[in-house]
Amino acid sequence: MGKVWAIAVNTFREAVRNRILYILLIFAIVLLLFSGAVRELTFSAQDKVIKSLGLGAISIFGLLIAVFVGIGLVYNELDKKTIYTIVSKPIDRWQFILGKYFGLLLTIYVNIAIMALFFYFALYWQTYTSEAALDRAYAALPAGESLSWLSYLGFLGMAVLKSSAQAVKTFFFMPGAVTADLPPVVLMTALELAIITAFAVLYSSFSTPTLSAILTVFTFVIGRTNEDIIRYTWVIERNGLDSTMDVVKYHGAQCVAHVAPNLKIFFSNTAYQALSDPPVQYDRWMAYGVVYALAYSGMILVLAVLVFRRRNFK
């Protein structure tokens, strides 16, 4: 296990020293911080819109990191022939694949954590600088006096401090009122990305970065629309499997839907169910998500190892 860990740490180090990661992360943070601006643009359910936007941003940027950082990881080792020195060491090839996987996952999780922190911060910032909060600040002033520049800055500074403190508190699973429903949702996003990362490593183990990127995004899209594909087959079936084309379409779609992961498990509950009333039973939902993610990514990694284990490196 020490060797898997060594490769994982090195993979993490490679990703952390990669410029693409920072560009993606900065974009995500800017988006998250400005998600509050949506407040000015929406009339109702502002809270819901902001949360959906933030959670969506975390999920999409997590995917982008998996794609852009992940796809090249195995391929580069083959392309630059660093794999030659790795396989000549007393390690097994499965250890290499697992190390790459966990290294990439570690990178993604650290980034999700950073994004989640900024997201929570943005949410609390909304609360602490809301009109109600500002009104309260006014009310505290002696009658007739207006808020001076300096005390307004003080008010904002306090908001920053309080938001940061609350964000950190929420992050370590002590949800405050504003974000009570969010940590499990972020966790589900993390589980979804565990599956996507396994696919990224699998594709990267036998194809070029561009092809891997396309395949990974494809898998993500099919995974997210898996239930819709099943619904589509129902429609075909209801209309009757008359022509050969219908039969091909029906079985083709069935096949794709059953082989591809069902990522809706992790998603359908995120934005709207997290905010639903009454709330979802998180425990059961999460337990199912954990089992599904472990089983599915385990299966994909076994496949990646089978491809990689007896592969000739040119």
Partner 1 sequence: MPAPSRRAKLTETGRTMATVVQTIGLTKIYTLDFLDVEYGRIKLRLRPSRRQRVALKDLDLAVEEGEIFGLLGPNGAGKTTTLKLLMEIIFPTRGSAKILGRPLGDKWAKSCLGFLPENPYFYDYLTGREFLRYYGQLYGLGRRERTRRADALLERVGLHGAEHLPLKGYSKGMLQRIGLAQALINDPRIVILDEPQSGLDPLGRKEIRDIILQLREEGKTVFFSSHILSDAEMLCDRVGILYGGELRAVGKLSELLSARIREYEIVARGLPEAVVREWQGRADRVLADKDSVMIIVRTETDAREILSKISNGATLVSFNPRRETLEEYFIAQVRGGANG
User: Which residues of the shown chain bind partner 1 in the complex (CB under 8 A)?
Assistant: 2-3, 6-7, 10, 13-14, 17-18, 80-91, 206-207, 306-307, 309-314
Cα first-last separation, the chain: 28
Torsion of CA 86, 92, 93, 95, to 10 degrees: -90
Shorter beta-carbon distance to partner 1: residue 81 or 136: 81
Beta carbon of residue 65, minimum distance to partner 1 (angstroms, whole number) = 17
Shortest distance (Å) from residue 231 CB to partner 1: 34
> With respect to partner 1, which residue has the nearer C-beta, 78 or 187?
78
Name the minimum Å distance from CB 82 to partner 1: 6
- Comparison of 18 and 268: residue with beta carbon closer to partner 1: 18
Comparing CB distances to partner 1, the nearer of 87 and 168 is 87
Torsional sign, CA 115, 22, 24, 70:
negative
* Nearer Cβ to partner 1 (87/156): 87
Question: CA nearest 179: which of 125, 136, 135?
Answer: 125
Nearest one of 302, 304, 300, 270 to 285, comparing CA atoms: 270
Cβ distance to partner 1 smaller for residue 88 or 244? 88
Tokens of 135: 């009104």
CA distance 297 to 173: 26
Q: Minimum Å distance from CB 241 to partner 1?
A: 33
Write down the least CB distance from residue 126 to partner 1, Å: 39
Q: How far is the CB of 313 from partner 1 (least distance, A)?
A: 5
Q: Which is nearer to partner 1, 206 or 232 (CB)?
A: 206
Paired tokens of 254: 């069935």
State the burial class of residue 88 (Cβ atoms within 10 Å of its Cβ: 0-12, 13-18, 19+): exposed
> Least separation, in Å, of the C-beta of 16 and partner 1?
9
Burial of 57 from C-beta contacts in 10 A (0-12 / 13-18 / 19+): buried
Decide if 153 contacts 129 (C-beta within 8 A).
Answer: no
267 and 192 in contact (C-beta within 8 Å)? Answer: yes
Contact 311, 75 (CB under 8 A): no
